[in-house]
Structure 1
Amino acid sequence: VSKIQELEGELLHLQTLNSSRRSELVCLDLDDGGLSSKNSYFANLHEISSENDRKAVDISCGTEDEEELERSTLQEKLDQELKELDKKLEQKEAEMKRFTSVNTSVLKQHYEKKVQDLEHEKRALQKEIEDLRYNLANISSTSDDSA
């Protein structure tokens, strides 16, 4: 798509250049007033136009080659960076696998110990709640008996 746009731009430029030269030719023809001079100018214009077309093609080919070389160089650089990133990612994944396989059992034991500690604390607090309710009930019944 960009190639088409580039070629359309070149075509437009050449058409503009050609039309401006034709208008110069008309002006020269009006100044000279001769048919033979018009034909010689037209021949010269055709030669200049052909030379410009060849130069434009050479320039565009040179520009295209440079752009293609630049694109391929950039693509190679990006491919190399991608390979390096893939290697780093593989290293990190391997490191994480080693870390998790070794420490998983340690973490699991630590987690189970914490769960047991919390369950023991929960039972102790429930026993304390029951003792406080029993004492409250005894205090209430003692105060009822005293009254």
Structure 2
Amino acid sequence: MHHCHRGLWICAFQRTWSSQTFIGSIPAGNFELSCALLFSGSLPSKATRMFQFLNMASISYRTLMYHQQCYLHPAVNEVWRDKQASYMQEAQNSGQHVHFGGDGADTPGHCAKFGTYTLMDLEKNMVVDLQLIQ
């Protein structure tokens, strides 16, 4: 757009620049960082502290936790349920015996209120169920 102001021609334009693409309203790189931290087993609190020590711009701990709670954990749970259902269907359809083994665990040396119990298919070396027990 061009217009004249007191004898001077001024050219005004507006451009929006973004350093990364978006997934909906979430910057893709931010979401990828949340994914990488969760799937690598890293602790968000330690990762965000490391970014601070490096004086590196990053998303906040709160944002990381939001991504995990609202998007990543539900996605992991859905994939887990789908895999578990297809395993059970396959085991039923095979007509073969399945050999299971299980074990419960809590934190060694502590009187834990909660523990986990894992059930595995011993021949496929595959976890088929995981329960949090009290």
Q: Same fold (TM over 0.5)?
A: no
Structure with the greater relative contact order (CA < 8 A, sep ≥ 6): 1 or 2?
A: 1
Q: Which has the higher helix share?
A: 1
TM-score (norm 1): 0.24
Larger Rg belongs to: 1
TM-score (norm 2): 0.26
